C-alpha cells in the first residue's frame, strides 16, 4: 500500500539479543527509539516509514491537480483540507522515521534520486473531477485497509502516528464516496465520468497491496517483526469484499467480467491486476513517474532559497541572542 514491496534487511546481530528482541515483539511490547533493535529492523522500518511519508507528499500532487478546478467552494475547501491532512501525515511520518536516525532532508534526497520509493498509485493521472471521488473512495479506502492494522505495529512512534493518520483517512474515504454519490446522481456526463474513474483506478488500487503472496519475497521477516501485519493477498481480498457492494450501491460496474461471489468461501473471486504493469510502474515507467518526481524536484529546488534564508535568519537570531547574554 503506502509502503509496498519493502525489502526486509537481513540482520547480522547476536543471536541471543535477537531472540530477546523477538520475545518482546511476540509479547506485544512496543519498541521505542532508545531501545536496542536489530540493524535489519531499523533499516526495514526506515524504508517502510520513509516510503509511507513520501507517498503522502507525492500523493498531494494528483489531488492538488484539482484544487484550482474544484467545482464549488465547499468542494474546494474539502479538498484543500484533505491535501493539507496529507502534508500533516507526511510530517508525522518523517518525524517517526527521524527517531530511527535518518533526517527528513536525507529522506527527501533519497526520494529525489530514486533510492526511496512512494506508492505506485500516485503515478496515475487524475483526469476528471470524478477522480477526486475515486481517489478518496478507492485509494484512501485501500490505504485504510493497510493502516488500521499498522496501529498495532511493533514500533511505537510508527504505531502512534498511524492512530492519527487512520482517523483522518476514514474521513477522506467518506468524502471521496460523497463525491462519487453526487456524480452518479448527476447528469449523464457526470455518471460517465464516475464510471470512467472507476475503470481507471480499480486495478491500480488493487496493486496498492503489493504483489501476490506467492511472489512477495519480503513478507515473512517483516511479519515476524510486526512491521507488516497482514499478507498482501489478505488485505486485497478484504478490500474487494468491502468495495464491491459500495460500487453496487453507487450503480457503477467494477471493470472485471469475472468478478463473482464465491458462496463456498464467502468472498469474491476477482481478476488479479496486470502485474507486468505494476512492475513497470514501480520501475519508473508509470504514466506519471517522471512528472511526479520532477514536480517534487522543482518544488525542492525552487524552495531552496527560502529554506536557506530561514536557516540563515534563525542562525543570526541565535547569534544575536548569545551575544546579548
Partner 1 sequence: MKHLFEFLLRQGDNALVLGHRTSEWCGVAPALEEDIALANTALDLIGQTQLWLGYAAEVEGKGRSANDLAYLRDVYDFRNILMLEVPNEDFGRTLMRQFLFDAFQVPWLTALCGSSDKRVADFSGKSLKEANYHLDRSAETVIALGNGTEESNTRMQAALDYLWPYAGELFGEDDTDQAMQAAGIAVLPASIRNDWDTKVQGILSDASLRTPKSTFAHFGGRSGFRHTEHLGHMLATMQILQRSYPGAVW
71 is a contact residue toward partner 1 (CB under 8 A): yes
Region from 22-30, 156-164, 272-280, 300-308 binding partner 1, contact rule CB under 8 A: 300-308
| Shortest distance in whole angstroms from residue 191 CB to partner 1 | 11
The verdict on 185 binding partner 1 (CB under 8 A) reads yes
Helices 73-98, 60-67: crossing angle, 10 deg rounding: 160
Size of interface with partner 1, in residues (CB under 8 A): 52
CA angle at 66 for the pair 62 and 71, rounded to the nearest 5°: 155
Gap between the terminal Cα atoms of the chain? 52
User: In the stretch 121-140, what mask flags binding to partner 1 with x, by CB under 8 A?
Assistant: --------x-----------
Which of residues 81 and 217 has its CB atom nearest to partner 1 in the complex? 81
Q: Which three cell numbers stand for residue 202?
A: 480499480
Nearest to 4 by CA among 151, 208, 153: 208
Strands 267-269 and 260-262, sheet pairing: antiparallel
Stretch that binds partner 1, among 18-26, 39-47, 140-148, 291-299 (CB under 8 A): 291-299
- Candidates 18, 91, 223, 254; binder of partner 1 (CB under 8 A) is 91
> Looking at 32-40, 66-74, 228-236, 273-281, which segment touches partner 1 (CB under 8 A)?
66-74
**Residue 304 binding partner 1, by CB under 8 A:** yes
Q: How far is the CB of 286 from partner 1 (least distance, A)?
A: 18
Applying CB under 8 A, among 67, 127, 224, 244 the residue interacting with partner 1 is: 67
Using CB under 8 A as the binding rule, whether residue 217 contacts partner 1 is answered as: no
Binding status of residue 320 toward partner 1 by CB under 8 A:
no
The yes or no reply on residue 60 touching partner 1 (CB under 8 A) is yes
User: Per CB under 8 A, does 83 bind partner 1?
Assistant: yes
Q: Is 18 in the site for partner 1 (CB under 8 A)?
A: no
Shortest Cβ 140–partner 1 spacing (Å): 16
Q: What is the contact surface with partner 1 in residues (CB under 8 A)? A: 57, 60-61, 63-64, 67-77, 80-81, 83-84, 87-88, 90-91, 94, 104, 129, 179, 182-183, 185-187, 189-190, 295, 298-299, 302-314, 316
Amino acid at each position: 500500500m503506502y509502503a509496498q514491496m519493502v525489502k526486509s534487511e537481513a540482520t547480522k546481530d547476536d543471536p541471543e539479543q535477537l531472540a530477546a528482541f523477538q520475545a518482546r515483539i511476540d509479547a506485544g511490547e512496543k519498541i521505542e527509539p532508545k531501545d536496542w533493535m536489530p540493524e535489519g529492523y531499523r533499516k526495514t522500518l526506515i524504508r517502510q516509514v520513509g516510503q509511507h511519508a513520501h507517498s503522502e507528499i507525492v500523493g498531494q500532487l494528483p489531488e492538488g491537480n484539482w484544487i484550482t478546478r474544484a467545482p464549488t467552494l465547499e468542494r474546494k475547501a474539502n479538498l484543500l483540507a484533505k491535501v493539507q491532512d496529507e502534508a500533516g501525515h507526511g510530517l508525522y511520518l518523517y518525524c517517526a522515521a527521524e527517531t530511527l536516525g535518518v533526517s527528513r532532508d536525507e529522506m527527501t534526497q533519497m526520494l529525489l534520486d530514486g533510492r526511496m520509493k512512494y506508492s505506485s498509485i500516485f503515478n496515475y493521472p487524475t483526469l476528471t473531477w470524478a477522480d477526486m471521488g475515486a481517489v478518496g473512495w478507492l485509494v484512501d479506502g485501500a490505504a485504510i485497509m493497510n493502516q488500521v492494522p499498522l496501529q498495532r505495529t511493533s514500533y511505537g512512534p510508527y504505531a502512534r502516528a498511524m492512530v492519527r493518520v487512520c482517523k483522518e483517512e476514514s474521513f477522506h474515504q467518506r468524502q471521496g464516496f460523497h463525491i462519487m454519490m453526487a456524480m452518479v446522481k448527476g447528469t449523464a456526463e457526470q455518471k460517465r465520468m464516475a464510471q470512467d474513474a472507476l475503470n481507471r483506478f480499480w486495478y491500480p488500487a488493487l496493486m496498492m497491496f503489493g504483489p501476490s503472496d506467492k511472489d512477495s519475497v519480503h513478507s515473512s521477516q517483516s511479519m515476524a517483526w510486526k512491521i507488516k501485519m497482514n499478507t498482501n493477498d489478505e488485505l486485497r481480498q478484504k478490500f474487494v469484499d468491502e468495495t464491491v457492494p459500495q460500487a453496487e450501491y453507487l450503480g457503477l460496474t467494477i471493470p472485471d467480467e469475472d468478478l463473482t461471489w464465491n458462496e463456498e468461501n464467502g468472498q469474491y473471486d476477482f481478476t488479479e491486476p496486470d502485474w507486468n504493469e505494476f512492475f513497470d510502474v514501480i520501475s519508473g515507467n508509470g504514466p506519471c513517474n517522471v512528472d511526479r518526481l520532477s514536480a517534487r524536484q522543482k518544488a525542492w529546488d525552487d524552495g531552496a532559497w527560502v529554506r536557506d534564508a530561514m536557516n540563515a535568519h534563525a542562525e543570526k537570531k541565535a547569534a544575536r541572542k548569545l551575544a546579548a547574554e
